Structures are given as C-alpha cells and as structure tokens.
Amino acid sequence: MDIVKYQKIIDKFANERNWDKFHNPKNLVMALAGEVGELTEIFQWLNESQSKEIINSPTDIALVEEEVADVFIYLIRIADRLNIDIEKAVSEKLVKNAQKYPIELSKDNATKYNRR
C-alpha cells in the first residue's frame, strides 16, 4: 500500500472542504476514538463465535469494512499532520514487539510482557 498516496488524497479531500483548521492532533485523535467506538459497537454484544462468523454476513462485514477504513483514514491523517512516517514507525514497532514478546516466552501465552 502506498501510504503517501493516500495521505495526499486525504489531504486534498480535507483541503477542498477547508477542514485543516479542524484537523489538529487533538481533534483527529478524538475523531479516531469515535471511529474505533463505532467499530467496537458492531462487535459489542457478539460472543466469540458470532464475532468470527461476521465475515459470512455481507451486510455486517460491509459495516466492519467501512469502520476499519474510517479508523485507518484517521490514522493516516494524524501521522500526516504530525510528520510521522507510518511505514517506518510500524517497522520499528514490530522490532520492539519481537523483543518484548520473544517466542519462547510468548507462544501460547497472552500475558503482557510486563506481567510475567
């Protein structure tokens, strides 16, 4: 995925609507939290089995796809406004996660690294 391409598209979209004045980091994070809430709401009262089966409902999975897209759009916008290189940040975080959660301590274990 070309993140920079999407940053430009999202930036153009916001600029055409004169939304930059609203897109400060605080507001964007709050909007992101709202979108995560909407994604959460879809799954809120489902049991584990139902949450896995949602993929078999075209209507429900379409809602999930829209909310995932909204979450990702806000993440891209936040990173753009704060000059964060998402690809670099993700790569660095994956390295840190591998160190925090070595296979020999983490395999089949959901305990957080600082709770062992």
Identify the structural domains of the chain with CATH numbers, from first to last.
Answer: 3-84 (1.10.287.1080), 85-116 (no CATH)
Residues 59, 18: Cα–Cα separation, whole Å: 33
Burial category of 106 from C-beta neighbours within 10 Å (exposed 0-12, middle 13-18, buried 19 and up): middle
The amino acid sitting at 34 is: G
| The residue count for the chain | 116
Question: 44-95: per-residue pLDDT in tens?
Answer: 999 999 999 999 999 999 999 999 999 999 999 999 999 999 999 999 999 9
pLDDT for 28 beyond 80: yes
Residues 56, 37: Cα–Cα separation, whole Å: 22
